[in-house]
């Protein structure tokens, strides 16, 4: 019924190697894309965009980035918040230095700058492994946040120490600042999210991705069969930081508009993104989306149920959220270490055989 | 004695004292890591949880009072009694042992044999869970913890150094107590590990799980024991930090500092935790005093420890006292 490969014949190599080889899967993907591009922008208002769609799209990019590093290359990083801050501040400096250049270019350049910083902090990964490395990336997290807090050049000597996005447009459409339209910011982020997912998906199934996975599975063995660990690890850090930098830039310029670095890009953010990929599924692009959606929706749902329906004070709901998230992490690690993505795979397999499972 | 040198020595001394407190938290990490190979990120939150519980019991708070009030619409807050500090510490220890049992029974029993990094992430989840439970149980406002430890400047040292050098050193009584407690704790733990039956079993498990299992050591019991010990260390650390800066969320972030301490000292070495703690404590205070505050705009304490550990690890990946890492395919 669903997900049948019967009758689906590939006649060219290109067809055989496409991302979604099963016809049903491919059309489902087109439908999702169609809805995202042609339906949602005409229906959304400010509340929907700001509380659901923007955080989802932006966190999805960050999760894809971290998933490349942790899920595909096996290098655990707790410095995501710091790298997002690099993206945000790079974007801010570019926006204020070159007001006439399109935002697309600024965001991409912010990603490139973050990639360079990420590769720099990835250097120790050649010597240290496992949770030694995880703790070493904390150095990046704390150092970068301190740097942006203390060096006035980064926030253009503003009195508050905050950075706030000036009004910028792209192709004549305003996308940053307070007077933006909901659909414009949504579309802008959607373009980056779809682009990131495409690039990441194709990188991970190409030769770079296979090298990363070889390093993840056993780095010494990978070295012996001819994978250069220096190249593989540093490209993983660079590519991962590129996506995280883009998400940081979008997070600052489109979503928040004004940012205080310790608050927006603290260590909590690093953990949040790490939790997204654990819950969503390590080593899966779909998992990054699922995890981001889950952890963006959960607080909203809890707030609706706890505060609006039951009338509990907000602090109790916030604490309950910690308990639930922590508990879910443990449950997922015990019951389904491959996360929501694995549940999705199982569901697909079931659907393929339905209604005759034997 | 020139003023600058006297200041530097004072900063050095205070760094040593701070280092003792870092070492105290780091000890808990080492205990669990040695026995079960779990890198327990939640150690800091355990210290926070222990301190919260101690304050809650001493003040006679009703656990989960906010939640109960929200659900049932009641107005309960306190039982109306005050528990003496000693009894409260014993009761808190009981809570920590119960926690150790639950952690072993409901979490890590199901994760035996998983990769270390998975276990690490599970402890991050545990940290979030515990933090939420601690806040739900006892409320999240900043609390003061007073178990009768001496506090404030040590007058004797102040006068003595003033006579000797012309400059009175400021050293907090609490820091001195903390150093003594840490010393007793370390000696106690080493004695326990060396000379008791359970201690010997603990070392056997640390050495080789399967060999220990085959000679009849109960892994479950040892792990609960180790988590309880770590809970005890967390309680001591929580009391010290809580008395110093109040019981609040930042307690668990201070405990994060124990991570670079461990990386310097090596994950498997108790003396390493102490030496690492002292190096980090002295290093970050001196750096802040000599370089950070005058040239870099201050607050370098936030990252100096991590950077030091990072640079150090590049040259010696197993830490100062860690065992040599040998990898085979």
Contact A145, A266 (CB under 8 A): yes
ipTM: 0.81
Lowest-pLDDT range of A49-63, B3-17, B220-234: B3-17
Chain A residues closer than 8 Å to B249 by CB: none
Asked whether residue A332 is domain-assigned, the answer is no
Per-residue pLDDT, averaged over A273-278, amounts to: 89
Task: Categorize the per-residue pLDDT at B33 as very low, low, confident or very high, splitting at 50, 70 and 90.
Answer: confident
What CA–CA distance (Å, rounded) separates B78 from A197?
53
Structure confidence at residue A58 (pLDDT) = 94
Question: In whole angstroms, how far apart are CA A290 and each of A281, B4, B227, B293?
Answer: 8, 58, 34, 45
The residue of chain B with its CA nearest to that of A328 is B125
Helix, strand, or coil (residue A258): strand
pLDDT for position A209 = 93
In a domain, B325, yes or no: no
* pLDDT higher than threshold 90 for residue B281: no
Query: Which of A71, A82, A131 to mutate to test binding with chain B, by most B CBs within 10 Å of its CB?
Result: A131
Cβ–Cβ gap B111/A138 under 8 Å: no
Proportion of chain A above pLDDT 90, given as a percent: 31
For B:125-144, CB contacts with A below 8 A are 125-133, 135-136, 140
Residue A178 or B283, more confident? B283
Is A223 contained in some domain? yes
- Cβ–Cβ below 8 Å for A134 and B120: yes
Beta strands in chain A (DSSP E): 163-164, 169-170, 173-174, 258-259
Q: What is the pLDDT confidence band of residue B245, given thresholds at 50, 70 and 90?
A: confident
* Chain A contact present for B249, CB below 8 A: no
CA distance B305 to chain A (A): 8
pLDDT greater than 90 at residue B42? no
Domain for residue B256, yes or no? yes
Q: Of B243, B307, B278, which is closest to residue B23 (Cα–Cα)?
A: B278
In a domain, A297, yes or no: no
> Which of A146, A310, A330 minimises the CB distance to B122?
A330
The answer to whether the bond into A355 is cis (omega within 30° of 0) is: yes
pLDDT at position B297 over 70: no
**B61-86: average pLDDT:** 74
Specify if B216 maps to a domain. yes
A19 phi and psi, to 5 degrees?
A: -60, -45
Residue B327 is assigned to a structural domain of this protein: no
Q: 3-class DSSP state for residue A173?
A: strand
B326 located within any domain: no
Question: Taking a C-beta distance cutoff of 8 angstroms, is the pair B174, B149 a contact?
Answer: yes
A288-340 confidence digits (pLDDT tens): 999 999 989 988 888 888 777 877 777 788 888 888 888 988 888 888 888 88
Nearest to A329 among B121, B136, B298 (CB): B121
**Cβ contact A294:A280 at 8 Å:** yes
Q: What is the mean pLDDT of chain B?
A: 80
Split at pLDDT 50, 70, 90, the class of A197 is: very high
Say yes or no for a CB contact (<8 Å) between A319 and B140. Answer: yes
**Are B256 and B41 in contact, with CB atoms under 8 Å apart?**
no
The pLDDT of residue B9 is above 60: yes
Query: Comparing C-alpha atoms, which of B146, B131, B153 is closest to residue B252?
Result: B131
Q: With contact defined as beta carbons under 8 Å apart, do A282 and A74 qualify?
A: no
What pLDDT is attached to residue A318? 83
pLDDT band at residue A65 under the 50/70/90 scheme: very high
pLDDT surpasses 80 at B201 = yes
Parent domain of A137: 44-266
Measure the CA–CA gap between A132 and A252, rounded to whole angstroms: 30
What contacts B155, CB < 8 A, 6 or more positions away? none
CATH number, residue B41: 1.10.3470
B328 occurs within a structural domain: no
* pLDDT band at A146; cut points 50, 70, 90: confident
Both structure tokens of A338: 């491959």
- Domain with B133 in it: 3-315
Residue B223 lies in a domain: yes
pLDDT given for residue A90 in this prediction: 93
Of all residues in chain A, the percent with pLDDT exceeding 70 is: 100
What is the SS3 assignment for A114?
helix
Over range B30-58, report the average pLDDT: 83
Confidence of residue B164 (pLDDT cuts 50, 70, 90): low
Query: How many structural domains compose chain A?
Result: 1
Most confident of A54-68, B83-97, B229-243: A54-68
Pick the residue with more confidence: A172 or A321? A321
Contact map slice: B 103-122 vs A, CB within 8 A: 107, 110-111, 114, 116-118, 120-122
pLDDT attached to residue A57: 93
In terms of Cα–Cα distance, which of B231, B227, B186 is closest to B205?
B227
Given pLDDT bands bounded at 50, 70 and 90, which one contains residue A232?
very high
- Domain count across chain B: 1
Structural domain includes residue B324: no
Quickly list H helices, B37-154: 43-59, 65-72, 85-102, 116-138
Which letter, b or e, does each residue of A253-292 get, where b requires 16 or more Cβ atoms within 10 Å of its Cβ? bbbbeebbbbebbbbebbbbbbbbbbbbbbbbbbbbbbbb
What's the whole-model pTM score? 0.87
CA distance B237 to B232: 9
pLDDT of B189 strictly over 80: yes
- Using the Cβ of B294 and the Cβ atoms of chain A, whether some distance falls under 8 Å is answered with no
Q: Are A137 and A273 in contact (CB under 8 A)?
A: no
């Amino acid at each position: 019924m669903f997900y049948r490969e019967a009758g689906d014949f590939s006649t060219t190599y290109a067809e055989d190697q496409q991302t979604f080889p099963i016809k049903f899967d491919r059309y489902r993907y087109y439908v999702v894309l169609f809805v995202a591009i042609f339906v949602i922008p005409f229906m959304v208002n400010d509340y929907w965009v700001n509380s659901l769609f923007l955080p989802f799209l932006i966190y999805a990019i960050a999760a894809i980035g971290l998933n490349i590093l942790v899920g595909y290359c096996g290098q655990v990083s707790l410095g995501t918040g710091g790298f997002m801050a690099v993206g945000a501040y790079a974007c801010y400096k570019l926006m204020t230095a070159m007001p006439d250049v399109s935002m697309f270019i600024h965001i991409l350049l912010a990603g490139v700058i973050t990639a360079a910083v990420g590769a720099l902090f990835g250097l120790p990964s050649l010597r240290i492994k496992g949770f030694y490395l995880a703790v070493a990336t904390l150095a990046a997290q704390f150092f970068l946040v301190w740097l942006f807090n203390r060096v006035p050049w980064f926030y253009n000597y503003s009195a508050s120490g905050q950075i706030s996005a000036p009004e910028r447009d792209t192709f004549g459409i305003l996308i940053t600042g307070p007077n933006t339209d909901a659909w414009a910011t949504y579309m802008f982020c959607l373009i980056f999210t779809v682009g990131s997912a495409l690039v990441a998906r194709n990188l991970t199934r190409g030769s770079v991705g296979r090298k990363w996975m070889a390093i993840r599975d056993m780095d010494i063995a990978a070295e012996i069969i001819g994978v250069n660990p220096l190249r593989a690890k540093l490209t993983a850090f660079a590519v991962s930081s590129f996506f995280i930098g883009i998400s940081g830039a979008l997070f600052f310029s489109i979503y928040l508009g004004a940012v205080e670095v310790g608050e927006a890009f603290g260590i909590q953010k690093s953990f949040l993104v790490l939790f997204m990929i654990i819950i969503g599924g390590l080593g899966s692009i779909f998992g990054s989306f699922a995890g981001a959606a889950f952890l963006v929706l959960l607080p909203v749902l809890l707030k609706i149920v706890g505060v609006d329906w039951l009338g509990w004070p907000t602090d109790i709901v916030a604490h309950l959220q910690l308990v639930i998230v922590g508990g879910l992490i443990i449950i997922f690690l015990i019951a389904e270490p491959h996360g929501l993505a694995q549940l999705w795979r199982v569901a697909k397999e079931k659907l393929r055989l339905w209604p005759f499972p034997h | 004695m020139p003023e600058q040198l006297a200041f530097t020595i004072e900063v050095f001394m205070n760094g040593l004292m701070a280092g003792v407190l870092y070492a105290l938290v780091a000890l808990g990490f080492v205990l669990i890591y040695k026995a079960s190979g779990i890198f327990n990120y939640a150690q800091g939150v355990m210290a926070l949880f222990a301190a919260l519980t101690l304050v809650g019991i001493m003040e006679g708070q009703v656990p989960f009072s906010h939640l109960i009030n929200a659900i049932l619409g009641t107005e309960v807050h306190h039982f109306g009694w005050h528990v003496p500090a000693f009894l409260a510490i014993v009761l808190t220890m009981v809570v920590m042992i119960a926690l150790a049992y639950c952690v072993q029974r409901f979490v890590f029993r199901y994760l035996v044999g998983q990769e270390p990094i998975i276990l690490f992430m599970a402890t991050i989840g545990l940290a979030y869970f515990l933090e939420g439970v601690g806040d739900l149980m006892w409320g999240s406002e900043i609390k003061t913890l007073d178990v009768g430890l001496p506090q404030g400047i040590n007058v004797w040292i102040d006068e003595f150094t003033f006579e000797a050098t012309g400059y009175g050193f400021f050293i907090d009584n609490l820091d001195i107590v903390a150093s003594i407690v840490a010393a007793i704790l370390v000696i106690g733990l080493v004695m326990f590990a060396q000379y008791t039956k359970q201690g010997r079993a603990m070392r056997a498990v640390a050495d080789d799980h399967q060999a220990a299992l085959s000679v009849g050591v109960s892994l479950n019991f040892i792990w609960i024991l180790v988590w309880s010990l770590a809970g005890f260390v967390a309680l001591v650390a929580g009391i010290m930090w809580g008395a110093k800066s109040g019981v609040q969320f930042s307690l668990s972030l201070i405990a994060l500092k124990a991570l670079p301490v461990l990386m310097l000292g090596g994950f498997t070495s108790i003396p390493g935790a102490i030496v690492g703690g002292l190096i980090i404590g002295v290093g970050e205070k001196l750096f802040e005093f000599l370089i950070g505050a005058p040239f870099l705009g201050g607050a370098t304490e936030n990252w100096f420890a991590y950077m030091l550990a990072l640079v150090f690890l590049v040259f010696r990946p197993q830490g100062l006292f860690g065992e040599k890492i040998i990898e085979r395919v």
